[in-house]
Amino acid sequence: MIGKIKTEKSNFFAASSVFLLLTGYCLLSGLSLLMPLLLLICAFYLSVQRGIASRCFLRLGFLLALLAASAHAMTFSSDFSFYFIPVAAAPMLTMLLFNDLQLAFAMAFLSASIVALLTGAGFHCMLAFFIGGLTGAYAVRDARTRGTLLVAGLLSGAAQAAAFFLSDPRLSLDSTLHVLRPLLIGGFVSGLVVLATLKVFESFFGEVTNFSLLELSDALNQPLLRRMAFEAPGTYHHSLVVSNLAGEAADTIGANSLLTRVGAYYHDIGKIGKPDFFVENHSLSPNRHENLEPSMSRLVILNHVRDGVELARQSKLNQRIIDFIEQHHGTSLIYYFYQKALEEGDIDSVQEQNYRYPGPKPQTRETALVMLADAVEGATRAIEDHTPTRISAVARKIVNNKFIDGQLDECPLTLRECELICESFTRTLSAMYHVRIKYPERKNAS
């Protein structure tokens, strides 16, 4: 908790530094102080209405500072019109990095306003940049292919040109046509800028986009997934099933399905080092826990979370993926070994807290979905009657137990969403365990 407070303080001071630097830049350059004022108003709005952390404000301020510097540099060149400035790149990057349309809306407005103030362009230009930024941001929403970025750039340029053309019917045709070409090109250049810099900003900001998630989901090219498939095949198959369960549930409640699926792929990578100690891999070897004390088995089970986090950090996985490893058990009780310890030892000497995972509890809907899918998949596999009614009862029991145990206290899941999650789990598992027709044996001709 203390570390989190220190981090927030450092992010606040960093964000304040960006604001002060931008103010000083405006004063020294003789520019309008409306620029930092707009940024300050936006920051206040985001912090009050959206609860955006100061680190996010810092990143948005950095993007705006880069855009302002680029626009100011282009105003000194007589060879380029300021209509060529790739203003839409800022809201497009915001949409890809933070996956927040309202945040992208604010960035489109700020970007258009700042560039219009820097270049001395009028309201028509500002409106064109604003419409173009919004169009580009919406076009890259949920983008999963590189070509989408180029198409978004073309759409942004077309929207800029159309907005400028329609903004004032009194404008002459010659002056309008003179502006349309650079506005079209500027929109396409925005797509090229996003395509070229997205990976850089993603690494610099520590964010993860759909493109990186798709790369992480490629089992043939990801060393950790390849290791798990060969060294812990049972765990690998379990992770695939959990991924399907959680991903379908994420689609049902409107969560980030791709992030949920990829997080589920990696949530149990800590089992790679000791696969024989986990039940899904017991078909390859005898149960190693039969000769261990419950307290020792507890340590092995608990350590798979810590080992997974260490392995993920060694492989330089994004923190958003590491969150799934840390939070997919929350502070749940290792019930089997806790009961075994109570049966074999002194009840007063067995502390329940020692048999709970260290946490933290799930902080997002996506990590909570993986926790629930992980528990439901294991519980469903243990039953013999895989009818939809029985599967539904197991799923609801697991979700209710997690809720009663307080494991969902720190994530924004609602009771309605929990109901939808149970229904999604039931549909997916019922399809997996569908009944097959028993074919009659062929009789040999006598």
The pLDDT score that the predictor gives to residue 2 is: 40
Model confidence at 80, pLDDT cuts 50, 70, 90, reads low
Is the pLDDT at 295 greater than 90? The verdict is no
Q: Which domains does the chain have, with CATH numbers?
A: 10-205 (1.10.1760), 210-432 (1.10.3210)
Is the pLDDT at 348 greater than 70? The verdict is no
As a whole number, the mean pLDDT across the chain is: 83
Higher pLDDT, 83 or 249: 249
The pLDDT score that the predictor gives to residue 37 is: 64
Q: What mean pLDDT do residues 389-396 have?
A: 94
Q: Which of 373, 335, 355, 360 is nearest to 411 (CA)?
A: 360
The pLDDT score that the predictor gives to residue 436 is: 65
Query: Of 13-17, 300-304, 355-359, 360-364, where does mean pLDDT reach its minimum?
Result: 13-17
Model confidence at 296, pLDDT cuts 50, 70, 90, reads confident
Q: What mean pLDDT do residues 78-93 have?
A: 84
The pLDDT score that the predictor gives to residue 201 is: 92
Higher pLDDT, 1 or 217: 217
Q: What mean pLDDT do residues 279-307 have?
A: 81
The pLDDT score that the predictor gives to residue 350 is: 76
Query: What is the spatial distance between Cα 410 and Cα 416, in angstroms, rounded to a whole number?
Result: 16
Other C-beta atoms closer than 10 Å to the C-beta of 51 total 8
Under DSSP, is residue 412 helix (H, G, I), strand (E, B) or coil? Answer: coil
The whole-model pTM stands at: 0.85
Q: What mean pLDDT do residues 420-437 have?
A: 88
Q: Which residue has the tokens 């903004």?
A: 167
Model confidence at 94, pLDDT cuts 50, 70, 90, reads very high
Query: Of 11-25, 142-156, 200-214, 431-445, where does mean pLDDT reach its minimum?
Result: 11-25
- Tell me the pLDDT tens digit for each residue of 17-36: 555 555 555 555 555 555 56
Given a contact cutoff of 8 angstroms between Cβ atoms, the answer to whether 107 and 60 are in contact is yes
Q: What mean pLDDT do residues 253-261 have?
A: 95
Given a contact cutoff of 8 angstroms between Cβ atoms, the answer to whether 344 and 350 are in contact is no
Task: Count the helix, strand and coil residues of the chain and give each as a percent rounded to the nearest 5.
Answer: 75, 0, 25
The values of phi and psi at residue 125, to 5°, are -65, -45
Query: What is the spatial distance between Cα 409 and Cα 363, in angstroms, rounded to a whole number?
Result: 9
The pLDDT score that the predictor gives to residue 200 is: 92
The pLDDT score that the predictor gives to residue 40 is: 64
- Tell me the pLDDT tens digit for each residue of 310-320: 999 999 999 99
Is the pLDDT at 133 greater than 70? The verdict is yes
